[in-house]
Amino acid sequence: MARTELTKTIKPGGYTGTGVKLNLQPGDATNGNKFKGNGNDLLVVRNTDTASHTVTIVSVDDPYGRQENISSYSIPAGETHIFGPFPTMGWLQSDGYIYTDCDSNTVEIGIVAL
């Protein structure tokens, strides 16, 4: 199956008097998720469950052959964690997306475009 695409939240400008609601979507524990990478995005992960759950951010080989996923990172119950920003080198898949996986649909994922 195809990964579920995440919708980005665009940060407010530096001279605005209003905030922006963070768009959090349930993680797709079956198919995984993806978002269009541009090298300047934050990944926000919130665990809404009463048990710990994991998230993985899938890397790709950089020009030097290095690859290092953020693998099975544990998010404790009720906590929110932030990752990134993700440079395109080492993270951007060949289709232009960055891939994330989680072990439960109770994990909510948001992308903030900086």
Give yes or no for a contact between 28 and 6, defined as CB atoms under 8 angstroms apart.
Answer: no
Both ends of the chain: CA-CA distance in Å? 30
Q: What is the pLDDT of residues 79-90, one digit of tens each?
A: 999 999 999 999
Distances, alpha carbon 69 to alpha carbons 10, 12, 22, 57, 87, in Å: 26, 30, 25, 6, 13
pLDDT for residue 111: 98
Sorting pLDDT into bands at 50, 70 and 90, what band is 65?
confident
pTM as predicted? 0.93
Q: What is the pLDDT of residues 14-54, one digit of tens each?
A: 888 889 999 999 999 999 999 999 999 999 999 999 999 99
